[in-house]
Amino acid sequence: MGIKEAQKESLLVLGNRLRTIRNGMGLTLKDLGYRINKDPQSISRVERGNINPTYLYLLDVCKGLEIDITELLRK
């Protein structure tokens, strides 16, 4: 697996983890977007692995989900 493929895979793992946690809490993209003042489409792009979110973006997401960032980043 090349670097680009490995990076894409990492983003997909992160996005899937985010989606699993969000859905487990019964939140829609719109709900989470409202909580963190972010566009639901940008959250969707993260969940699909289409963008590489910044650390600060992930901190906002975790704050909105009321979880520690380590919960989001673990495999």
CATH classification of 3-73, choosing from 1.20.120.610, 1.10.260.40, 1.10.3720.10, 3.40.30.10? 1.10.260.40
CB 43 within 8 A of CB 72: no
The pTM of this model reads 0.92
Q: Residues 39-55: pLDDT tens digits?
A: 999 999 999 999 999 99
Sign of CA dihedral 49, 64, 69, 53: positive
Rg (CA), the chain: 12
pLDDT reading at 75 higher than 80: no
| pLDDT tens per residue across span 26-42 | 999 999 999 999 999 99
Which tokens belong to 73? 């980043």
* DSSP assignments along 13-27, one per residue: HHHHHHHHHHHHTT-
3: pLDDT confidence band, cut at 50, 70 and 90? low
